[in-house]
């Protein structure tokens, strides 16, 4: 079977190509990819090429398929897995396999599996690691976004606290505590806000910061503070760019005690130092945002580490249990990852989007891999619809849902877009 895929050959060398897939082996599965959301980690891999920890050294000879936040449909199952999987079954994949102590992952390390492709071969190692996850939702985009959501879930589970007088690490955020999400209205920050509001262990105070007033206003529309208040959570959105002393402002919101949990969603030195400065007793700083600079550093107050027991964790992805939790919460309607999506496009938009991702404003860029379509903001659909009835129809659906991507929009897109 032929496939079209975006493969990485070296630093900033991504190519959309068509090639033949080999016949599957008994321990492999042939699948069709339907959707893939583009992650900043893919941008980093594109910049670093073989220097990236997950990308093989020989990509100039054996290029790998990029993209790891994907969902699709199983087409053919090798004999080894026929008792567990079947053709027609929807799936999502947990790329962080942590198998045999390596960092190898779909979307970085393998020649025939990655999200930016029409068809793929899922190697046996994915099933052996229990990372091929059946999905029963109506649309594909939630399954794609279950991977980034699992990173958020994992971050919340990785934070910890130590009761005074003990050495017991109690995993997870402080229930009914004070939480701050800094730079929290980007796509991953919005996902974190959604999860914080709707998981079982909730904070009593949730402060979300940014320096972009328009993005803060959109976040407040997506997550109205008055609705959060009904759940027992005081939700505040703060523009720290308009505050003379952000640390004082943020600490004052806690009555001066500081925060039990602080999540940093942008790899910016002053932001990390701000996070450290607002920690309360036994406060946990979770450095979620991955820097591209291996020499990234920030100053930490070690006086507070010693006397106030402040501490730092860093997370880079979730595990399979985190992904299952994400899928379950989506299927139950408790969280809606669509709030993260601001752009859609086809497979032919992947190369430029991946290479220029930091310069493209907005949230998640969702790719439908079997269509041809430039990357388009959901807010651009109306203008494009003035000359193209396809975009006009899509705008009608999306605008009726407050410009949030949805099942109906996906069905319309897949039925009417030009095939790749």
On whether residue 365 sits in a domain, the answer given is yes
pLDDT of residue 318: 83
- The beta strands (E) that lie in 123-273 are given as 132-134, 160-161, 170-171, 178-182, 205-210, 234-239, 259-264
Residues 6+ apart with CB under 8 A from 243: 249
Q: What percent of the chain has pLDDT over 70?
A: 100
On whether both 73 and 30 belong to a single domain, the answer is: yes
Tell me how far apart the alpha carbons of residues 56 and 62 are, in angstroms, rounded to a whole number. Answer: 9
Answer with the one of 266, 288, 314 that is the final residue of a domain. 314
Domain that holds residue 122: 2-134
On whether residue 130 sits in a domain, the answer given is yes
Strand, helix or coil for residue 54: coil
Cβ atoms of 367 and 145 closer than 8 Å: no
pLDDT of residue 320: 87
On whether residue 41 sits in a domain, the answer given is yes
On whether both 55 and 192 belong to a single domain, the answer is: no
DSSP 312: E
On whether both 196 and 274 belong to a single domain, the answer is: yes
DSSP 164: T
Cβ atoms of 16 and 117 closer than 8 Å: no
On whether residue 141 sits in a domain, the answer given is no
DSSP of 232-288: T-EEEEEEGGG-S-HHHHHHHTTTTS-EEEEEE-S--HHHHHHHHHTEEEEEEEEE-
Tell me how far apart the alpha carbons of residues 204 and 178 are, in angstroms, rounded to a whole number. Answer: 6
Task: Please report, for residues 92, 287, 392, 407, 408, the alpha-carbon distance to residue 412 in angstroms, rounded to integers and kept in the order given.
Answer: 22, 39, 11, 9, 6
Tell me how far apart the alpha carbons of residues 216 and 202 are, in angstroms, rounded to a whole number. Answer: 21
Measured at the alpha carbon of residue 188, what is the angle toward residues 132 and 72, in degrees to the nearest 5?
A: 30
pLDDT of residue 99: 66
pLDDT of residue 363: 87
On whether residue 322 sits in a domain, the answer given is no
Q: Residue 7 — pLDDT band, cuts 50, 70, 90? A: very high
CATH number at residue 239: 3.40.50.720
On whether both 275 and 369 belong to a single domain, the answer is: no
pLDDT digits (tens, 9 = 90+) for 277-324: 999 999 999 999 888 788 999 999 999 999 999 999 998 778 889 999
pLDDT of residue 100: 64
On whether both 193 and 285 belong to a single domain, the answer is: yes
343 forms bridges with which residues in the sheet? 365, 377
Question: Residue 409: is its pLDDT beyond 70?
Answer: yes
Beta strand pairing status for 178-182 and 205-210?
parallel
On whether residue 341 sits in a domain, the answer given is no
On whether both 116 and 252 belong to a single domain, the answer is: no
On whether both 272 and 364 belong to a single domain, the answer is: no
User: In the chain, how many domains are there?
Assistant: 3
> What's the whole-number average pLDDT of the chain?
95
Find the mean pLDDT for residues 218-245. Answer: 95
On whether both 130 and 48 belong to a single domain, the answer is: yes
pLDDT digits (tens, 9 = 90+) for 339-372: 999 999 999 999 999 999 999 988 899 999 999 9
* Residue of 247, 184, 173, 239 whose CA lies nearest to 212: 239
pLDDT digits (tens, 9 = 90+) for 325-336: 999 998 888 999
pLDDT digits (tens, 9 = 90+) for 35-63: 999 998 999 999 999 999 899 999 999 99
Cβ atoms of 318 and 96 closer than 8 Å: yes
CATH number at residue 122: 3.90.180.10
On whether both 163 and 289 belong to a single domain, the answer is: yes
pLDDT digits (tens, 9 = 90+) for 100-154: 677 899 999 999 999 999 999 999 999 999 999 998 888 999 999 998 899 999 9
DSSP of 3-41: EEEEEEEETTEEEEEEEEPPPP-TT-EEEEEEEEEEPHH
Beta strand pairing status for 371-372 and 64-65?
unpaired
């Amino acid at each position: 079977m032929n496939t079209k895929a975006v493969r990485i050959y070296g630093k900033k060398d991504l190519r959309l190509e068509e090639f033949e897939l080999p016949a599957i082996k008994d321990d492999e599965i042939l699948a069709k990819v339907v959707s893939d959301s583009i992650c900043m980690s893919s941008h980093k891999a594109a910049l670093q090429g073989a220097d990236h920890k997950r990308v093989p050294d020989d990509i100039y000879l054996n290029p790998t398929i990029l993209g790891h936040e994907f969902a699709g449909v199983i087409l053919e199952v090798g004999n080894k897995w026929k008792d567990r999987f079947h053709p027609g079954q929807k799936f999502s994949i947990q790329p962080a396999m942590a198998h045999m102590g390596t960092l190898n992952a779909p979307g970085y390390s393998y020649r025939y599996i990655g999200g930016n492709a029409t068809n793929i071969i899922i190697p046996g190692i994915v099933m052996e690691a229990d990372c091929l996850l059946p999905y029963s939702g109506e649309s594909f985009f939630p399954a794609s976004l279950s991977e980034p959501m699992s990173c958020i879930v994992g971050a919340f589970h990785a934070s910890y606290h130590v009761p005074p007088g003990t050495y017991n690490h109690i995993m997870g955020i402080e229930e009914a505590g004070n939480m701050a999400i800094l730079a929290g209205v980007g796509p991953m920050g919005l996902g974190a806000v959604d999860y914080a509001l709707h998981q079982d262990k909730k904070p009593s105070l949730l402060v979300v910061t940014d320096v972009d007033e328009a993005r803060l206003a959109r976040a407040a529309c997506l997550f109205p503070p008055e609705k959060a208040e009904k759940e027992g959570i005081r939700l505040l959105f703060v523009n720290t760019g308009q505050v003379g002393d952000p640390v004082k402002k943020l600490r004052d919101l806690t009555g001066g005690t500081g925060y039990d949990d602080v999540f940093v969603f942008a790899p910016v030195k002053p932001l990390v130092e701000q996070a450290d400065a607002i920690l309360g007793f036994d406060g946990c700083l979770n450095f979620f945002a991955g820097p591209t600079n291996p020499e990234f550093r920030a100053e930490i107050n070690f006086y507070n580490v010693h006397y106030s027991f402040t501490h730092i964790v860093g997370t880079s992805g979730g595990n399979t249990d985190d992904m299952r939790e994400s899928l379950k919460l989506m299927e139950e309607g408790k969280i809606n990852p669509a709030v993260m999506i601001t752009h859609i496009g086809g497979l032919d938009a992947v190369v430029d989007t991946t290479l220029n991702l930091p310069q493209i404003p907005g949230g998640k860029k969702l790719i439908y891999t079997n269509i041809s379509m430039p990357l388009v903001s959901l807010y651009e659909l109306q203008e494009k619809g003035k000359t193209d009835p396809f975009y006009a129809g899509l705008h009608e659906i999306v605008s009726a849902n407050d410009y949030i991507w949805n099942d109906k929009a996906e069905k319309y897109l897949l039925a009417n877009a030009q095939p790749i």
